[in-house]
Structure 1
Amino acid sequence: METGVYIPIISDYGFKATFGNEADSLFLRIALQALIKSKIPIREVHFDKNSFEALTIDSRSGIFDLACTDENGNQFIVEMQLGLAPHFVQRMKFYALHKFNTVVERGEFDYANLPKIYAIAILAKNILPTAQFHTVANLRSEAGEIIDTQMTFITVELAKFNKHVAEIEADLDKLVYTMKPLHTTEPTQYPAFWNEEWLKRAIDELDTRKMTPEERAYFARVTAANAEAVKAEQKRIEAVKILAIQNALKEGLPIDLIARIISVSKDFVSAVQKTL
């Protein structure tokens, strides 16, 4: 992502420096309290292992961005997604249900007094057919009655947030507003609430002017690795499109139809045709 003075919170480096800051958890604690809409302050968090052996058929590990437990034993899973992810809800269910199985097994399959599990997804794009940017979901009856609150799914869709500074009062709004335009904001354009201690500390972690040489080197490594990953993904997507075009051409489909189906230009289809 392009960045100016401030590194985006929603970048890999930014998320780890703010939400994943084990040396200073103030931002994380207030952010979690806002995300779950709790009036009770979270005073402590313990960072947990954030990966587990996969239960899926392809045997890949399940890795989420952050996992932690508060002083009351409440379990939090936080996942950030920048790209389109139409099946992201299924991924969060997978993570949450694995966590549920883990806490049940620790209690020797005792279902009484289980800790609450919060599966939190922060998405740059929209995936839900809902109007609100912040969605809290529990198990409910067909009449909308709450059946269970032990497991809660929370989704934040940044693209749906459109409040102006003058409208912002709640910590949740302050959090989401900060996640959206921070990296495009000049230091002279600070909203007043960015001086609140929890946000000020997080923003300081993202201020490139205050980075140590070691932090600059780490940021450069992360940025380079992300750029390589993006290039690799683009090549993979292009290879898939080329294969689909080749198959369609072999079936005798016209170039203009293939271009519409695969969402590429006619020239691209023609270029692939010349390689056959």
Structure 2
Amino acid sequence: METGIYIPIISDYGFKATFGNEADSLFLRKALQALIKSDTPIREVHFDKNAFEALTVDSRSGIFDVACTDEQGNHFIVEMQLGYAPHFVQRMKFYALHRFNPLVERGEFDYANLPKLYTIAFLEKSILPVAHFHTVANLRSESGEIIDSQMTFIIVELAKFSKQVADIETDLEKLVYTMKTLHTTEPTQYPAFWNEEWLRRAIDELDTRKMTPEERAYFARVTAANAEAVKAEKQKIREAVEQNEQSVKAETVRNLLDLNILSVAQIAKTVGVTEDFVRKLSGDR
């Protein structure tokens, strides 16, 4: 992801430097309070182990971007997803249920006093059939009554947020605006609310002009690793496309061979393959 003076919050490095900043959790605490729409300030957060061991059939392990617990015992899982992820809700359920089970076990299977569990996702693209950018979901009846509020899912779809600075009022709107625009904003265009302590501290963490040599080196390593990962994924896509094209061509050649009206040379020219390709398929029959 290209960047100017400020590293994007939604980048891997930026998300960890702000939401995952264990040395200074003010930004995370204010953000969580805004996301769950609570009037009660979160005074403390304890960062939990954010990885879990393999639970799936193919033995894949998992990792949350941020996992923490506040002073009231409320649990939070926070994820950032770049790119289109139409089935991300399923991943959120997987993460939430993985965290839910140990809560029950630690309470000796007492379901009466379980702490609240919030699973929060920031999505770069839109996936829900709703108009608003901030969706809060609980277990509800068909009439809309809340059946259970112990487990809450919160999805923020950045693509749906379009408010301009003059219209921004809430901390939630300030948060999402900052996440979308910080890395593209010139210093002369800063909105006044970026001077608020919780946002100013986060923005300072992303200011490339204030980075130490060690931080610059780490940022360079993360950026390079991400670039390699993107390159590898693109190569996988290209290979998949090429394989699919070959499969289609092979099926077309087989169909033409079945008709038995064209020569090998004519089939090769029609499909756009070599004559050896046609002969091999003919010999495999």
TM over 0.5: yes
Residue of structure 1 in register with 2:190 after alignment: 190
Asked if structure 2 preserves the Cα contact closer than 8 Å seen for 1:245 and 1:272, the reply is no
In the alignment, the residues of structure 2 paired with residue 80 and residue 13 of structure 1 have an alpha-carbon distance, to the nearest angstrom, of 11
- Looking at structure 2, the residues matched to 187 and 207 of structure 1 have their Cα atoms a distance apart, in angstroms, of 11
Query: Can you give the 5+ residue segments of structure 1 that lack an aligned partner in the other structure?
Result: 254-269
Secondary structure of the residue aligned to 2:252 is coil
Match of 2:231 in 1: 231
Q: Do the aligned residues in 2 keep the contact of 1:27 with 1:198 (CA within 8 Å)?
A: yes
Question: Which sections of structure 2, spanning at least 5 residues, go unmatched?
Answer: 254-269, 278-285
| Residues 122 and 157 in structure 2, CA contact (< 8 A), matched pair in contact too | yes
**1:254-273 to 2 correspondences below 5 Å:** 273=273
The alignment covers a number of residue pairs equal to 260
Equivalence for 1:174:
174
The verdict on how the C-alpha distance between 1:186 and 1:105 changes in structure 2, with shifts beyond 3 A counting, is: same
2:57 matches 1:68: no
- The aligned residue for residue 131 of structure 2 is 131
Q: How far 1:54 sits from its partner (Å)? A: 2.5
Q: How does 1:77-96 map to 2 (within 5 A)?
A: 77-96=77-96
2:25: which partner in 1?
A: 25
Distance 1:18 1:85 in 2: 23
Residue of structure 2 in register with 1:9 after alignment: 9
Q: Tell me, what secondary structure is at the counterpart of 2:125?
A: coil
| Bigger Rg, which one | 2
TM-score, length basis structure 2: 0.89
Structure 1 residue 272: Cα displacement: 8.7
CA gap 1:273/1:194 in 2 versus in 1, 3 angstroms? farther
3-state secondary structure, aligned to 1:251: helix
Q: How far apart in 2 are the matches of 1:97 and 1:43?
A: 26
Distance 2:4 2:120 in 1: 28
Computed over aligned residues only, the root mean square deviation of the Cα atoms, in angstroms, reads 1.6
Partner of 1:244: 244
The sequence identity of aligned pairs, in percent, is 79
User: Taking structure 1 as reference, are residues 271 and 34 closer, same or farther at Cα in structure 2, changes over 3 Å only?
Assistant: farther
- Report the CA distance shift for 1:210/1:272 in structure 2 as closer, same or farther (over 3 A): farther
Q: Contact (CA 8 Å) 1:246, 1:273: kept in 2 or not?
A: no
